[in-house]
Structure 1
Amino acid sequence: MKFVAMSLFFFLSFNCFSLPTAEVSKLRGDVFFNGKKLSISDEITTNGVLKTGKKSFVKITIKDWNSSIVLGPKGVMEVDLSSKEVKKKYTFLSGTCRWVTALNKKAKGAVFTKNASVGVRGTDYILKVTKLLGESEIVVIDGEVEFKNINNPSDTAIVGKGQWGGLGGRYGSTIGDILSLPKNVVEAFDKQLKL
């Protein structure tokens, strides 16, 4: 009985203290993490910068969150999986990315930009960052997200299915009106980074 109890303790301790990971599940072209070229099945378990080339993309799977992130061409994302305590595990710096949660699963966590945080609530959305203008845009394909202004925690909005939100640059320093998009526009966005 003692052996079973000890085994169970070590198993639970290992799972409790194991660090988060992201696995490369798909890629095309030139994709780098901290300057090292990535291949399918590589794991990201530390902190660094994920970059995609001009005609490249990468899909990373986050099993702990039941989710995946697709980083499109010329995308840049800071990733910090060095510990469970790190709040900003994914900071999207430029390009376009898509977050997808597995069907019938609940996701957790958040993706950050320089001026916004996107709280994940089990959903499918596209996030675009225009670094030159300091803009963050979101289009929600399914579900809903909490879109929050990092510089003003009281400036927050829920963006639902088929809606758009923007912050920074041309959209202003606060989150403006959340727009409901026509069906054909949502369908056009849904074709982006769909893997």
Structure 2
Amino acid sequence: MKSIVFSLFFFLSFSILALPTAKIIKLKGSASYNGKVLKLGDTLQGKGVLETKKASFIKLEIKEWGNHIVLGPSSEMNLALTSKEVQKKYEITKGICRWKSYLRKKQNKGVIFSKQASIGVRGTDYFLKVNPLLGETEIVVFEGQVLFSNLSDQKDAKLINENQWGGLGGRFGGKISNILTLPSNVIDHFKRYLNI
């Protein structure tokens, strides 16, 4: 009986330890996870809502999935740090974020969602802005490629390459707008956002 209890305890402990976690590696101002105020070095687990206040930002490292995510001021993101099988691991509901991935190219780098779009991460560095008031999602890719897909129309998807911009919803329309290649001065401007 003791061996069964020990085996069950060992299995459950291993399962819990195998779940992904997000470590706070930079923090300015005020941020919370499920309403709990965060501090530098804290570790986030499970499902929750990550929020930043005005003039604040937070940088997370999720080693198991090879991601760095910076959430900018007055922003909100739903996290599901539960298992690789969960589809919506990251869902930004408002504000801005910067995604950087350090996985090898052949590995799956994940998908981030907004209300309007899914962003299949083939690139390693991009900027994302979500405006819930206007129902808009915008993306600027700095490195690699991103598959930008309209959640309300599976056939409406476009590959966005390095130094390109894409938008969906609100002022940009119900279909993914024409993809724009941005001049270097505009790219440099966007790169300054959340380059932490």
Q: TM-score, normalised by structure 1?
A: 0.88
Match of residue 44 from structure 1: 44
Does residue 192 (structure 1) correspond to residue 193 (structure 2)? The answer is yes
Match of residue 23 from structure 1: 23
Distance 1:80 1:151 in 2: 22
Match of residue 157 from structure 1: 158
Report the aligned-residue RMSD: 2.1
1:122-161 alignment to 2 at 5 Å? 122-161=123-162
178-187 or 78-87, which moves further after superposition? Answer: 78-87
1:16 CA drift (Å): 11
Match of residue 85 from structure 1: 85
Contact 1:128–1:137 (8 Å) recurs in 2? yes
1:91-110 alignment to 2 at 5 Å? 91-102=91-102, 106=107, 108-110=109-111
Match of residue 56 from structure 1: 56
1:122 CA drift (Å): 3.6
1:48 CA drift (Å): 1.1
Structure 1: which 5+ residue stretches go unaligned? 1-9
Distance 2:182 2:154 in 1: 26
Contact 1:115–1:150 (8 Å) recurs in 2? yes
Match of residue 35 from structure 1: 35
Q: Could you give the per-residue CA deviations for residues 19-65 of structure 1, whole angstroms, max 9, x where no partner exists?
A: 12111111111000011011122111111110001010000111122
Structure 2: which 5+ residue stretches go unaligned? 1-9
Q: Could you give the per-residue CA deviations for residues 137-188 of structure 1, whole angstroms, max 9, x where no partner exists?
A: 0000111101011111111001011100000001111112100001100011
Q: Equivalent residue of 1:185, what SS?
A: helix
Distance 1:158 1:16 in 2: 36
Contact 2:111–2:118 (8 Å) recurs in 1? yes
Contact 2:123–2:141 (8 Å) recurs in 1? no
Distance 1:16 1:153 in 2: 35
Does residue 118 (structure 1) correspond to residue 106 (structure 2)? The answer is no
Q: TM-score, normalised by structure 2?
A: 0.88
1:107 CA drift (Å): 5.1
1:102 CA drift (Å): 2.5
Aligned residue type for 1:77: M
Does the C-alpha gap of structure 1 residues 83 and 66 become closer, same or farther in structure 2, counting only changes over 3 Å? closer
Distance 2:120 2:160 in 1: 10
Contact 1:67–1:107 (8 Å) recurs in 2? no
Q: Equivalent residue of 1:92, what SS?
A: strand
Aligned residue type for 1:185: V
Match of residue 177 from structure 2: 176
Match of residue 69 from structure 1: 69
Structure 1 moving runs of 4+ over 2 Å: 13-17, 82-85, 102-107
Identity among equivalent positions (%) equals 51
Contact 2:101–2:109 (8 Å) recurs in 1? no
